[in-house]
Amino acid sequence: MRVSLSLLGLVASGSFAAAICGNEEPTPELEILSREVDAKISTEAFNTFAPVEVTTYFHVVSSSTSPTDGNVSDQQLQDQLEVMNKAYAPVGFSFKLANTTRTVNANWASGGDEMGMKYALHKGKYSDLNMYFLKKLSDNSMGMCPFPSNPYPGTPYYVKDGCSILHTTVPGGSLANYNRGLTAVHEIGHYMGIYHTFQGGCSSTLGDRIADTPAQKNATMGCPARRDSCPMEPGDDPIHNYMDLSDDTCRTEFTPLQTKRMQAMYQQLRAGK
């Protein structure tokens, strides 16, 4: 793989992960909710999980009707949906597209007035998924998606829910190494309540709160044959995990305990809401 000098600079400065995923750090509230879910995961109520079909809304927000300005095609959206369904089928989730909106607004398309955009476009309930495909995100990342919480309907955090995705990362997009739709898969993982595999670095007590993802110092760049950034901890880096940031061709899986966490978090925080 050809590696650009700009990406090498990002890795050297420690900002590579932020350039890929713009998610904020987990809030204290989410940490409390996560501990509550952890306490319930082993109970009988969480031992079975009926497959869930998530009602999904796509919002294409571009600065003009040109594909180069963010106007993702219907075929690309269909391909993106298929990538999402393939990745989450083993987890027990499927995504059914209910509606697609198309909006030409140069400010929104470049990440401006996020809340104004979402108040205008957001549809459905908290158990549904809104995805906004933008020409550019405000932080110049490839995607971001707020973690689940307990917001009241109509409040800013309720409306803010949903994933913002850089339009060039969809299948057939123009962003080299990240144009197979895996950015959306990764961000939906945050929507479901799981962290980056490198959350907490090499800490064996914090980390991503998932016991079957080995400790990882920082995000993976490219698709190395093997990587062990925490040699004092057991296991190689989970470079093939959807919640790392390696190339799209490199990421292929969630672990069993990530699966369990997503199922439990959805049941606890989104189902029926």
10-residue averages of pLDDT along the chain (273 residues): 34 52 76 78 71 98 96 98 98 98 97 95 97 91 90 89 96 95 97 92 79 92 93 93 96 95 91 88
Distance (Å, whole) CA 157 – CA 23: 14
90-114: b or e for each residue (b if 16 or more CB lie within 10 Å)? ebebbbebeebeeebbeebbbbeeb
Through-space distance between the first and last CA atoms of the chain, rounded to whole angstroms? 44
Distance (Å, whole) CA 6 – CA 170: 22
Distance (Å, whole) CA 32 – CA 150: 12
Predicted confidence at residue 11, as pLDDT, reads 39
Predicted confidence at residue 175, as pLDDT, reads 94
CATH for the stretch 54-191: 3.40.390.10
Query: Side by side, which strands form the sheet with 129-134?
Result: 93-104, 52-62, 129-134, 163-166, 143-144
Distance (Å, whole) CA 188 – CA 130: 10
Distance (Å, whole) CA 181 – CA 172: 8
pTM: 0.90
**Torsion 15-226-26-23 (CA) sign:** positive
Predicted confidence at residue 110, as pLDDT, reads 94
**What residues does CATH 3.40.390.10 cover in the chain?**
54-191
The CA-based diameter of the chain, rounded to the nearest angstrom, is 52
Predicted confidence at residue 2, as pLDDT, reads 30
The CA-CA-CA angle for residues 202, 205, 211, to 5°, reads 85
Contact, 218 vs 12, CB < 8 A?
no
Q: Judging by DSSP bridges, how do beta strands 143-144 and 163-166 pair with one another?
A: antiparallel
Predicted confidence at residue 252, as pLDDT, reads 97
Got the DSSP string for 172-237?
T-SSTTS-SSHHHHHHHHHHTT---TTTTTT-SSSTTS-TTS---SS---S--S---S-TTSSS--
Predicted confidence at residue 17, as pLDDT, reads 58
Predicted confidence at residue 29, as pLDDT, reads 78
The CA-CA-CA angle for residues 108, 271, 114, to 5°, reads 10
Residue with tokens 């300005």: 69
Residues serving a catalytic function are 187
